[in-house]
Amino acid sequence: MIKEIKLPEVSDNVDSGDVVKILVAVGDKIKIDQPIIELETDKAMFEVPSSEEGTVTEINVKEGESIKVGGVILKIESNGVDVKKDIKSEIKAEDKEEVKAEDKSEIKAEDKSEVKAEDKSEIKAEDKSEVKAEVKSENKPSEIIPVNSERANLLKQVSESVKTDSPPSQKTESFIKSEKKESAPASPSVRRLARELGIEVDDVTGSGQGGRIIEDDVKSFVKSIMSSSNGTGISVSNKSLPDFKNWGEVEIQTMSKVRAITAESMSYAWSTIPMVTQCDKADITNLEEFRKNYSKKVEAAGGHLTLTSILVKVCSEALNKFPQFNASIDLTKKEIVLKKYFNIGIAVDTDRGLLVPVIKNTDKKSITEISIELNELAEKAWSKKISLDEMDGGNFTISNLGGIGGTNFNPIVYSPQVAILGVSRGSKEAVYVNNVFEPRLMLPLSLTYDHRIIDGADAARFLRWIAEALENPLLISL
């Protein structure tokens, strides 16, 4: 019996990847969970395991080409074993209810309870639908609060001010005033992306099989609205470049997957988020002595006590004290989502581009535990072994360029986060202390924040709190 092994949905907001290496050949006998290809997405590089057992009869991908979720990787002659396995999926039902899915994905619930899909839309999926449930933290749920009228007006004014002073185009008006269409087929991850970008997924035309909406369709729809809203209908990002060969020799390099997605994400963030950067300095003279005194103890435990690992703990406490920085904004619903969990991303410079591993539940971990985990995640990022799960779920990001140099910089907020901390190189400065100038080690800090939901005064207090915590290492342990 010939069976197809397809690329499963590997992570939210990831609908395709590039085949880096094929790990099997025609004629090979493979087992369930045996790696068959190496795949690179915008977030990570990893091995895709087989969901079937049998002999490879045909390989449908080539190294270097792109494959979408649901695309056929290879075909096998099975041994009569019919195993359907979803990577990373384990269905848990409350009160020990069993969820049974047959070939046509019938969902049976006890007591004849109704299954309601998002926006009351039916869940439609290709080829034997998958029903995925988002897993939320049991102890740290998210809290959704409505935006008051004053804040809603401010959001609208600021959002309009960063886009254009021109009146909206007919296309934009028709988009805003369009009547509700019949619910479109799209996965939960694509629907969530549409919400984060502030659009109705039902207004998007799908290019997938059977009109299914994929991530690229949502992004293209947003780009078309943004390019039309300036009244010219021309998108600056799509403007053709001159032929540079007219003036000399050039070299053309194809963007890596990570670099291309980074460029797209940063362009979107810069175009849609009104960002302001608040700067301050922290006197880390005493902190540096503290770090040196305890570095050997942390190294013995398997980590490195760095300024970044200390900052992770400090920022975790700051987010707890200033909850508006641990939030996301939903303009379509006029709501602010306040997160009750603390996951902090660390920007890591790699040969593939900028990757952001995430340390989760930082409020529950000591500085030593954070130092060990940060060291492990950085090593995985550099060696291309970091997983998608280890890069998802960040609420706040730290970008430390102090090891390279510089006196200050303005980092860009990672949507849907609302703030990011930039750290530059510390240097000795003459500081007036107790009527005397003393040489002190001063650390430049830059906080970029989303001005739609964070005011300047709150940003100044947040950054000053971080600076004072660094200036008094005892406060960190307390």
Cβ-Cβ contacts under 8 Å for 305 (sequence gap 6 or more): 291, 294, 295, 297, 298, 299, 367, 368, 371
Amino acid of residue 362: T
Say which of 451, 453, 454, 469 is annotated catalytic: 451
Cis peptide before 416 (omega within 30 of 0): yes
Q: 304 an active-site residue?
A: no
Compute φ and ψ for 59, nearest 5 degrees: -110, 120
> Pairing mode, if any, of strands 427-433 and 436-450?
antiparallel
- Helix (H, G, I), strand (E, B), or coil: what is residue 212? coil
Q: Quickly count: other Cβ atoms within 10 Å of residue 462's Cβ.
A: 24
Token pair for residue 82?
């019919």
Residue 248 and residue 122: Cα distance in Å, rounded?
A: 57
Among 241, 198, 233, 246, smallest CA distance to 218 is for: 198
CB 184 within 8 A of CB 204: yes
Active site residues: 451
